[in-house]
Structure 1
């Protein structure tokens, strides 16, 4: 990480909270709201989130697993998402979520009518908008963390508790 973090400060808390106080806390609220208010199923949520993390290369985001009601995706889920085109470990909704995430991040101009027809077979308009907002948040903030080197400085709360 090339940013100067004052001694004793947590890099994420400092950068997202103190360094830019007019923007950071608001960005943090948006970033957290996709976890707190999502109505998407855990598997499609995680398929989209993990595919963005893989595209961004964000170490922290790739390591993170969303938990809902004590449930998480299986340990091999990240590989299934990486292999979304060929794996048998994703249902249609999760596969489409991973595909949408990749296209959203790498080729948003190439999203065509055929793709939208497939999406509308499995997702409602509300779910498509929600997923799109989640993708935007993950793409922006995961990439910010990766570019600034924060992703390597973060320690997952679950990892800190185990240490």
Structure 2
């Protein structure tokens, strides 16, 4: 871990809730809102989330699978995300979600008219905004946890 945690304190609760409560609590609430209020399908949601997890290298995020109504993506989905360009397991929305996540994180200046034309064929304007905010949350908070060395002990908080 790259920051000192007082003995007996939960690292996640301490960093996100106590160290900078005005920011950490708001960040945690934003992170929770992404899961609680999404309108995106599970597969495209997880494709984007897992692509960001791969790019961030966040151990917890790579192991986590979002569950909705008792359903999770299938075993092997993470491998399909790695191969998003060529996998036959993805429909166009899921493939675009993985592509958008990657490009958002690594080449946001390269999101050109051709890409946006494909996005607007498959996603509504509201879905694009929602996906953008979700990707931003995962990029920022997964990277924060990885950089600070918290990702080995991270759990999705219920409240901070």
TM-score range relative to shorter protein: over 0.9
- Give distance in 1, aligned partners of 2:17 and 2:95: 35
Determine if the alignment matches structure 1 residue 122 to structure 2 residue 122.
yes
Aligned twin of 1:149? 149
- Structure 1's consecutive aligned runs of 4 or more residues displaced over 6 angstroms after TM superposition are none
Per-residue Cα deviation, 1:44-84 (whole angstroms, up to 9, x for no partner): 00000000000111111111100001100011100100100
Aligned twin of 2:71? 71
Length-normalised TM-score, structure 2: 0.95
Determine if the alignment matches structure 1 residue 84 to structure 2 residue 84.
yes
Higher RCO, Cα 8 Å, sep 6+: 2
Aligned twin of 1:111? 111
Length-normalised TM-score, structure 1: 0.93
Aligned twin of 2:101? 101
Local SS of the residue matching 1:88: coil
Local SS of the residue matching 1:152: coil
Aligned twin of 1:19? 19
- How far did 1:155 drift? 5.5
Query: Where do 5+ consecutive residues of structure 2 fail to align?
Result: none
- Give distance in 2, aligned partners of 1:2 and 1:129: 33
Local SS of the residue matching 2:72: coil
- Give distance in 2, aligned partners of 1:15 and 1:28: 11
Give the number of equivalent residue pairs.
157
Determine if the alignment matches structure 1 residue 9 to structure 2 residue 9.
yes
**What pairs with 1:124-143 in structure 2 (closer than 5 Å)?**
124-143=124-143
- How far did 1:156 drift? 7.2
- Give distance in 2, aligned partners of 1:2 and 1:101: 27
Conservation of the 8 A alpha-carbon contact between 1:49 and 1:135:
yes
> Considering only aligned residues, what root-mean-square deviation do their CA atoms show, in Å?
1.2
| Distance change in 2, residues 1:7/1:139 (3 Å) | same
- Give distance in 1, aligned partners of 2:84 and 2:66: 19
- How far did 1:2 drift? 2.0
Aligned twin of 2:61? 61
